Structures are given as C-alpha cells and as structure tokens.
Amino acid sequence: MKSGEMPGAEAARELGWWRAHRWLVLRRISQFGILGLFLLGPWAGIWIVKGNLTSSLLLETVPLTDPFVLLQVLFTRHLPETTALLGAAIVLVFYALVGGRVYCAWVCPVNLVTDLAHWLRLRLGLRSNARISRRTRYWLLGVVMLLAAVTGSLAWELVNPVSMTHRAIFFGVGMAWAVVLMVFLLDLLVSRHLWCGHLCPMGAFYSLVGSRSLIRVSAHARDCCNDCMDCFAVCPEPQVIRPALKGAERGHGPLILDSDCTNCGRCIDVCSRQVFDFRSRFDSRVTSCSETGAVPDFDDKRGSTAVNTRHANMEAGR
C-alpha cells in the first residue's frame, strides 16, 4: 500500500474496480437485502420473512432462530418451543458449513456501522489503538450466559448492539441509536475493529460454531505476495492471515483455518497479486504466479525483520 493511498487502490488499477470490490459489494447486497426482506412485510404487505434476526418465519413455513439467543434461553432454565429448537438447528447447520462468522460479515447490521468507522479511520489517518485482548470476547460470552442464568432473563438482549441496531433501523428507538453511536465511536476513536474484533460475545459464539466449516479463504498464491500489506489493512481479524500467507517455512498450509476469520472476502478484493480466493477446507493446493497471471517480485524481502515487524504492527492495529 503506497503512502496516501487507500487499501485496494493498486488492485483497482490493475484488475479493475469490480474485481477490487466484488466481495464487498456482494456483502452489502446481502446485508441490505436481508434488512429489506424484513421491511417488505410492514412496508409493502409482502411477507417473505416475518419476525427479526432473533426469531423469524421464512415463507410461512421455515422457522429460523438465532442459536446465540436460544443458548441464553437455555441458561435461564426455560424450555424453548419445538419450533425455536428446530429453527436454531437449521441456522446452526448452515453456519457450521459455511463458517460461523459469515454471520458477522454477511448478515449482521452492526458490521455496516463498524466498516464505516474503519473506512473513516483510514481516511482520517487515525492511529489510536487500545490494547485489548481479542480473547476478551470469549470471556464476555461466558458473562452473557452467566447473566442469563443468574437473572433468569435475556438481560444481554436489552443492550445487545446487534438487536439494538435492528430496532434502530426498524423502529427508530432513541436508546437504540445511542448504542449504535457508541459502537461507531469506539471503533473510530479507541481502536480499529474494537467491537467486532475484541468485544462482541455474539461474534465469539459464531466463531465457535464455524470452527470446522467447509468454506475457507486460501492464500493459494502466497509466493506471489509482494508485502503491500493491503490485506492486513482491510482485514477485521488480521491475526488470522499471517500463518497462511507467511507460514510455508513453518509447515503451515495456505488455508486460513482460524475460526475468527469472517469470510468477508476483503483480502481477496484488495490483493493485486490475486493471492487469495475462497476454497474448500480440504483444498490445500498452492497456485504458481504464472497461473494467476501475477509477476513474482524477486526483489522483495519477505523474511526480513522489517517486513515481519510490519505484519505484527498491522495485526495489532498499529
């Protein structure tokens, strides 16, 4: 990434705008499309989906239940209805196959807020970075379940930013917008991807769900990498990239198998060398530069201390 340029600028020049933004555009279509389906009923009387992201009914037939919410219900020691259990099972199977954190990148409305904050951070050159462990979200997941057990209620859902963002969009509730603004300011001013990457217990839950998912990002053409750092700059979980991209000498395959990966596809978009692509978790093939059409950079210094330091700094958000 050249000084003064946004990540992906080189990819846009060399591959074209669409190739440098296609997965981002498809994600936005998915996110706004899902919100649109929920709004279609109240606004136009066309009830393809009834309910909300917590619990809904698709085409008057298929129940869909957020398993994260259902787990909280079980901790309250209340017995969910059979349709809720069936709906949660359907959702669990889907995300177990495609990747649990696909929910975070392709469905969750909070992602729209945090992506905007990250884009503004890049534009404004903000470098603030609070040192908060990414494991904090897993501790908070435990706290959420403990809270449900102690109170006998879905206490977390009263302030859950995902639920609150949905309420803000649909009902314009003042308190809901306050929570949305809080998340935006945290990500903008305190640390990059602070909410989704460090604090969100819902993201932690879906990370566990998709730990063995079939669809993975692969750095299959990692020998073509020129250390431009664009993938690290755009990734909401940059720590997942380095083992696949730079771990060949340590025996790491090209697949990003870390369950924190959201399968957002931004690393695929912004890479002018076409290093990344979606693959099956069973496909560990490595592609040569000649197959991708990229020209290898023999003058780079992948193993240098300077490059490794840059990688570590990008992973830490510095």
Reported as a single tens digit per residue, the pLDDT across 96-142 is 999 889 999 999 999 999 999 999 998 998 888 888 999 999 999 99
Domain count of the chain?
2
Same domain for 177 and 235? no
Same domain for 222 and 97? no
For residue 216 the two structure tokens come to 């993975």
Per-residue confidence band for 230, with pLDDT thresholds at 50, 70 and 90: very high
Asked whether residue 258 is domain-assigned, the answer is: yes
Which of 157, 177, 209 corresponds to the end of one domain? 209
Residue 271 backbone class (left: φ over 0; alpha: ψ -120 to 50; beta: rest) = beta
Q: 213 burial class (0-12, 13-18, 19+ CB within 10 angstroms)?
A: buried
Per-residue confidence band for 310, with pLDDT thresholds at 50, 70 and 90: low
Per-residue confidence band for 33, with pLDDT thresholds at 50, 70 and 90: very high
Give the per-residue pLDDT at 52: 87
Asked whether residue 243 is domain-assigned, the answer is: yes
Which of 179, 209, 239 corresponds to the end of one domain? 209
Q: Give yes or no for a contact between 124 and 117, defined as CB atoms under 8 angstroms apart.
A: no
Per-residue confidence band for 302, with pLDDT thresholds at 50, 70 and 90: very low
Asked whether residue 14 is domain-assigned, the answer is: no
Asked whether residue 24 is domain-assigned, the answer is: no
Asked whether residue 265 is domain-assigned, the answer is: yes
Same domain for 311 and 248? yes
Same domain for 204 and 71? yes
Which of 193, 209, 225 corresponds to the end of one domain? 209
Q: Provide mean pLDDT across the span 149-177.
A: 83
**pTM, entire model:** 0.87
Asked whether residue 23 is domain-assigned, the answer is: no
Same domain for 162 and 110? yes
DSSP category for residue 255: B
Closest CA to 6 of 124, 127, 129: 124
Residue with tokens 């992948």: 302
Closest CA to 194 of 120, 114, 266, 264: 114
Asked whether residue 176 is domain-assigned, the answer is: yes
Same domain for 164 and 108? yes
Q: Give yes or no for a contact between 57 and 50, defined as CB atoms under 8 angstroms apart.
A: yes
Same domain for 173 and 73? yes
Stretch among 121-130, 208-217, 257-266 having the lowest mean pLDDT: 121-130
Asked whether residue 20 is domain-assigned, the answer is: no
**Amino acid at position 17, single letter:** W
Q: Provide mean pLDDT across the span 190-197.
A: 92
For residue 271 the two structure tokens come to 């890479």
Per-residue confidence band for 301, with pLDDT thresholds at 50, 70 and 90: very low
Cα 98 from Cα 280, distance rounded (Å): 10
Per-residue confidence band for 179, with pLDDT thresholds at 50, 70 and 90: confident
Q: Give yes or no for a contact between 55 and 66, defined as CB atoms under 8 angstroms apart.
A: yes
Domain span including residue 274: 216-316
Stretch among 21-25, 40-44, 56-60, 307-311 having the lowest mean pLDDT: 307-311
Distance in Å from the first CA to the final CA of the chain: 15
